[in-house]
Structure 1
Amino acid sequence: MSGRSETRERIVDAAALLLRDHGTSAVTTRRVAEAAGVQAPAIYRLFGDKDGLLDAVAEHVLADFVAQKAAVVEAAAAGDVDPLEDLRAGWRAQIEFGLAHPALFRLLSDPERGLHSPVVRSGLEVLEARVHRVAATGRLRVSERRAVGLVQAAGTGVLTVLLSTPAEERDEGLAEAAYEAVLREVLTDPEQPTVSARGGTAAAAVALRAVAPRLDALSPAEQRLLSEWLDRIVDDPARGPG
């Protein structure tokens, strides 16, 4: 490892510890420099400013977590793990991570910061992969995009409420209750994983939409046209139950 890379790593590690133990306000140039054993100008040279340093810390802390999630999803897809069980496991892991890293969660709750974070994008792709697997089974009655958005919104809301409540007063069942509410909104029926259940027309359309890009019997143009038609069926607010 080069001297520059080693210095950068020391600074990020020091800042991550300060963020974890004392929150964003503790991540000052002076305190980070002291903890990392470097001069303050080194931080400016490597990261530009405090925001640049915080971005680097967020990427550093989240990278391992996202990589672990991606590995779990890949293993679940290759094995015989039920997509709904995999999605629930991902939800629980996300809630646990947010509660264990409150300062990082608050940092990335800033839409502007999260929007430009490569590792946040990678984490979203993991969620999208999980939802896609559910869609392909015929159990999703809303579009994949809507399902991903609902899971994201519910997770952010739950963590915001829990982290703003004293630990001893938190509702321990809130996260699971919120997740069940999301399932009721996006699934045909949590207890009946079949296309013929309530909302079957939409579920069938979502399932076909999930595999449309892989239908080799169709040309790329035909695949795009089919996907457009299916999106119209799923997104049509006037459609009745299947």
Structure 2
Amino acid sequence: MLKDLVYRGYMPSGRDRLLTAARSLLSAQPDREPSTREIYTAAGVGAPTLYHHFGDKDGLLDAAIEDAFGDYLSRKRMVPQTGDLLADFAAGWDMHVRFGVENPALYRLMYSANDGRRSSSAETAEKALREGLERLAAAGILTVSIDEAVAMTTATAIGCVTELVRTSQPAEAPVAHRMRDTLIAELSGGGDQVDDAAKAARTLLSRMPEVEQVMTSPEAALLGQWLRTLAAHFDQAASTPPHLKGHTE
């Protein structure tokens, strides 16, 4: 990669050369971190240049993660929002898994604790995830708390990426789609523990953009309110022990 840039007549700065070298070495040897010497030698600079720009190797690796994740965020912003909240959530999952599979070493570093501190990329990813889940909650589609949904989604995604990398499978492997669909079912009430009526209400809520095409805005707003109320009611009914139902209905 560095040779290509030089060949094209562009002489990158020492900082850029170090970032390029770190990413290249991590991609070539995803099972281990390159040494400080390996990185600055591959970049064609001296150790003082690395220390000047990044402080130490950990600072450089953090910056390499941010650099790669910035590419991912740029691609994600180009994915159009369909208005179907569950479909948009699924697209976000697919992008996340693809990034992890394409950058296994960087992904591992991104989600590994460094002195109890997470990378800013992981925090950015969680912020974007939380915003998507808040939209699901506002629409009445989410059946668990946002904090629980964040934890479930993050754990499932990391597990999925880890398994795909371990078994050398692509991001589009069937197991990734099944894990995604199972997660969405759990988050939106599609699991067996939720009453079918609640699931039906949430299914309609997830397709409100289509409904709004055949209704006036006040009608669609009223229907959405009714569906959210019904979903909450049937959720409560499904979670109430049989011997207590006579006291709650």
TM-score past 0.5 threshold: yes
- Report what 1:138 is aligned to: 140
- Answering whether residue 157 of structure 2 is matched by residue 173 of structure 1, we say no
The 8 Å contact of residues 110 and 121 in structure 2, kept in 1 or not, is answered as no
TM-score, length-scaled by structure 2 = 0.68
Comparing 81-90 with 107-116, greater Cα deviation is found at 107-116
The 8 Å contact of residues 153 and 183 in structure 2, kept in 1 or not, is answered as yes
How far apart are residue 34 of structure 1 and its match? Answer: 2.2
How far apart are residue 92 of structure 1 and its match? Answer: 0.9
How far apart are residue 126 of structure 1 and its match? Answer: 1.1
The one-letter amino acid paired with 1:200 is: A
Please tell me whether Structure 1 or Structure 2 has the larger radius of gyration of its CA atoms: 2
How far apart are residue 47 of structure 1 and its match? Answer: 1.9
Question: 1:88 aligned to 87, 90, 94, which one?
Answer: 90
Secondary structure (helix, strand or coil) at the match of 2:114 reads helix
How far apart are residue 86 of structure 1 and its match? Answer: 0.6
Secondary structure (helix, strand or coil) at the match of 2:32 reads helix
The one-letter amino acid paired with 1:201 is: A
- Report what 2:65 is aligned to: 58
Residue deviations 1:4-54, cap 9 Å, x none?
Answer: x93212211111111112236352222222222211222123222221211
- Rounded to whole Å, the distance in 1 between the matches of 2:157 and 2:169 is 18
- Report what 2:186 is aligned to: 185
Secondary structure (helix, strand or coil) at the match of 1:41 reads helix
Residue deviations 1:35-78, cap 9 Å, x none?
Answer: 22211222123222221211111111112212443x357x52xx
- Report what 1:153 is aligned to: 155
- Rounded to whole Å, the distance in 1 between the matches of 2:44 and 2:129 is 39
Question: 1:200 aligned to 231, 241, 244, which one?
Answer: 231
Segments of 5+ residues of structure 1 without an aligned counterpart are 205-232
- Report what 1:106 is aligned to: 108
- Rounded to whole Å, the distance in 1 between the matches of 2:115 and 2:93 is 22
C-alpha change, 1:121 and 1:94, in structure 2 (3 Å) is: same
C-alpha change, 1:146 and 1:27, in structure 2 (3 Å) is: same
How far apart are residue 166 of structure 1 and its match? Answer: 4.3
Secondary structure (helix, strand or coil) at the match of 1:111 reads coil
Q: CA-atom RMSD, angstroms?
A: 3.4
- Report what 1:218 is aligned to: none
- Rounded to whole Å, the distance in 2 between the matches of 1:152 and 1:95 is 11
The 8 Å contact of residues 83 and 133 in structure 1, kept in 2 or not, is answered as yes
What is the aligned length?
200
Segments of 5+ residues of structure 2 without an aligned counterpart are 1-11, 191-198, 206-225
